[in-house]
Amino acid sequence: ETGVTQSPTHLIKTRGQQVTLRCSSQSGHNTVSWYQQALGQGPQFIFQYYREEENGRGNFPPRFSGLQFPNYSSELNVNALELDDSALYLCASSLERGRAGELFFGEGSRLTVL
């Protein structure tokens, strides 16, 4: 079975631009979560998608938005980038009614905002 894959692995943007990050979930998983991990910090929950609907959101502004597609892959979009958006963005897939904490993480997309 294939694991969680994310693209791109690294990217550089300037303040005010928009970015789209992509995630392919592990085979058979119907839930995708996104986390932001700033340098030296633990991951912070952005939002979760289940069957193409947002299923919970953390404390992030509306310029952070997402999509989940029928094949359960997902996108994270960030508009009007700010310097503090520089971070590692982690995608995790799971089963909505799977075992607690059983999330499978990708290796992340590292975003640098200049």
Partner 1 sequence: AQSVTQLDSQVPVFEEAPVELRCNYSSSVSVYLFWYVQYPNQGLQLLLKYLSGSTLVKGINGFEAEFNKSQTSFHLRKPSVHISDTAEYFCAVSELQGAQKLVFGQGTRLTINP
Alpha carbon 59 to its chain centroid, in Å, reads: 14
Which one of 11-19, 62-70, 72-80, 89-97 is the stretch in contact with partner 1 (CB under 8 A)?
89-97
CA–CA dist 23, 68 (Å, integer): 9
β 5-7/44-50 pair status: unpaired
| Side chain identity at residue 32, one-letter code | V
The yes or no reply on residue 36 touching partner 1 (CB under 8 A) is: no
Which one of 17-25, 65-73, 78-86, 100-108 is the stretch in contact with partner 1 (CB under 8 A)?
100-108
DSSP string of 6-50, one letter each residue:
EE-SEEEE-TT--EEEEEEPPTT--EEEEEEE-TTS--EEEEEEE
The yes or no reply on residue 11 touching partner 1 (CB under 8 A) is: no
The yes or no reply on residue 45 touching partner 1 (CB under 8 A) is: yes
Instruction: Tell which one of 42, 53, 71, 84 touches partner 1 (CB under 8 A).
Output: 42
Query: Which residues of this protein are in contact with partner 1, per CB under 8 A?
Result: 4, 31, 33, 35, 40-45, 48, 56, 58, 90, 92, 94, 96, 98, 100-108
